[in-house]
Amino acid sequence: MGTSIFAAAALGGAAARFVPNQLLLGMFGLLASAAVILMLVPMRQDSERPDVRDLRFSRSRAVASATGVGLLGGLVGQGGSFILIPLMTSFVRVPTRIAIGSNLAIVLLSTTAAFIGKAVTGQIEWLLAVPLVLTVVPATYLGGRVSHRVPVVRLRRVLAVLIAGAAARIWISVLFS
């Protein structure tokens, strides 16, 4: 998943320069809305402590998901975590805890590639980016620590609520600006 998401995110990040802002917001809204729906779909046999040695999933579905998320995530300037976790759990059939952990490494690659694509094409406002980076790193660490103590069902619900809030905010921007 890492290779395909990296290449697609770099392409999407660079191509975003040629896509109108309203279309980018609309795509982000659609992705976030799809993620909420996927997170609300109940998972069968989603273990609190899955055994990685017994993990079975479709590699072709994993690559297809990563490529799509990379391209669209690169376009909208997002690593794709909000849609990748729901796709990994529902479409690729990876247990939630493994999807959340694996997602960090995969999204690191897509975020790096999209960043390169956007930086090379002059799409980054550095004065806004630096404070975000400085707060995201410790918050990510804290979130990772907390998630180990939260049951999988609750993690899925919290993620769905957070994504729904973001989707609502995006749709308000699309429809009323």
Q: Has residue 46 got a pLDDT over 90?
A: no
User: In 3D, which of 114, 83, 75 has the Cα closest to residue 99?
Assistant: 83
Q: How many residues does the chain have?
A: 177
Of 3-12, 43-52, 160-169, the poorest mean pLDDT is in: 43-52
Tracing tokens 């406002």 back to the chain, one arrives at: 125
C-alpha 163/C-alpha 6 separation (Å) is 23
Burial 136-165 (b: 16+ CB within 10 A, else e): eeeeeeeeeeebeeeebeebbeebbeebbe
Q: Has residue 101 got a pLDDT over 90?
A: no
Q: What angle do CA 60, 63, 64 make, to 5 degrees?
A: 85
Do the beta carbons of residue 8 and residue 67 sit within 8 Å? yes
pLDDT at 160: 87
Which residues constitute the domain of residue 58? 2-176
Tracing tokens 């004065």 back to the chain, one arrives at: 127
As a whole number, the mean pLDDT across the chain is 85
pLDDT at 52: 67
Residue 69 structure tokens: 């998320």
pLDDT at 127: 92
Of 12-26, 28-42, 48-62, 128-142, the poorest mean pLDDT is in: 48-62
Domain count, the chain: 1
pLDDT at 149: 84
Give tens-digit pLDDT for 61-98. Answer: 999 999 998 898 888 888 778 888 888 888 888 888 78
What is this structure's pTM?
0.74
Q: Has residue 54 got a pLDDT over 80?
A: no
